[in-house]
Amino acid sequence: MKTLTLTESELIEVIKQIITEKKKRRKKKRRKKKKRAKKRDACYYKVKRRYKVWPSAYASGALVKCRKVGAKNWGNSKKKKKS
């Protein structure tokens, strides 16, 4: 078996390199987690309150319709004018 002889300063440099590499790997993992933010607007919360089962085809369709019309207008019935 061969043994390595390192001076104290060389050993410190090697340890510093290993630590910096591990820090870089951790930063990459954190960045991936931040990118997965979901779109939760007023329509999302309005539709979720109305439908018991989430996610469902009906709820998803309602969410799309709400986003087309706008959260303020969605769910309001049309009022007929009397003449």
User: Domain for residue 19, yes or no?
Assistant: no
User: Domain for residue 20, yes or no?
Assistant: no
pLDDT digits 0-9 by tens, 32-75? 555 556 778 888 999 999 998 888 999 999 999 999 988 888 87
User: Domain for residue 53, yes or no?
Assistant: yes
User: Domain for residue 57, yes or no?
Assistant: yes
The domain of 47 spans 39-74
* Helices and strands, counts by H and E, the chain: 3, 0
CA separation (Å) from 24 to 16, 17, 18, 27? 13, 11, 10, 5
Tally of domains within the chain = 1
User: Domain for residue 52, yes or no?
Assistant: yes
What pTM, to 2 d.p., does this model score? 0.47
The band of 76, judged by pLDDT with boundaries at 50, 70 and 90, is confident
